[in-house]
Amino acid sequence: SAVISQKPSRDICQRGTSLTIQCQVDSQVTMMFWYRQQPGQSLTLIATANQGSEATYESGFVIDKFPISRPNLTFSTLTVSNLSPEDSSIYLCSVEFLWNEQFFGPGTRLTVL
């Protein structure tokens, strides 16, 4: 596995603003993912962060709302744009190692007022 960190751990934002979440891994990984977990719900994949190319988004998620950067093999950012209360959720990054095992960062708890 690896040490995965996320910043910020939590934030409270105003409607209409944006929040950028950082994910840092202590070793190089090919596959990084961004998930959303709404209260009491399971994990929903937002996108796969590809190094050197555009992220691959899941159905229902678009680049304008959730722009992602992946400048190298240890770092990625997810921006949640034009925030609304419905975006209040926990956002998680994960990385994949051998045998398809995914490990999660500690998460970012976002509250939109």
Partner 1 sequence: QKEVEQNSGPLSVPEGAIASLNCTYSDRGSQSFFWYRQYSGKSPELIMSIYSNGDKEDGRFTAQLNKASQYVSLLIRDSQPSDSATYLCAVKGSSASKIIFGSGTRLSIRP
Residues 9-38 that bind partner 1 (CB under 8 A): 31, 33
Q: Is 58 in the site for partner 1 (CB under 8 A)?
A: yes
Nearest approach, Cβ of 93 to partner 1 (angstroms)? 9
DSSP 53: S
* Residue 57 · residue 69 · CB < 8 Å: no
**SS3 of residue 107 by DSSP:** coil
Cβ proximity to partner 1, 13 vs 43, nearer residue: 43
* Residue 35 · residue 48 · CB < 8 Å: no
Residues that bind partner 1 (CB under 8 A): 1, 31, 33, 41-43, 45, 48, 58, 92, 99-107
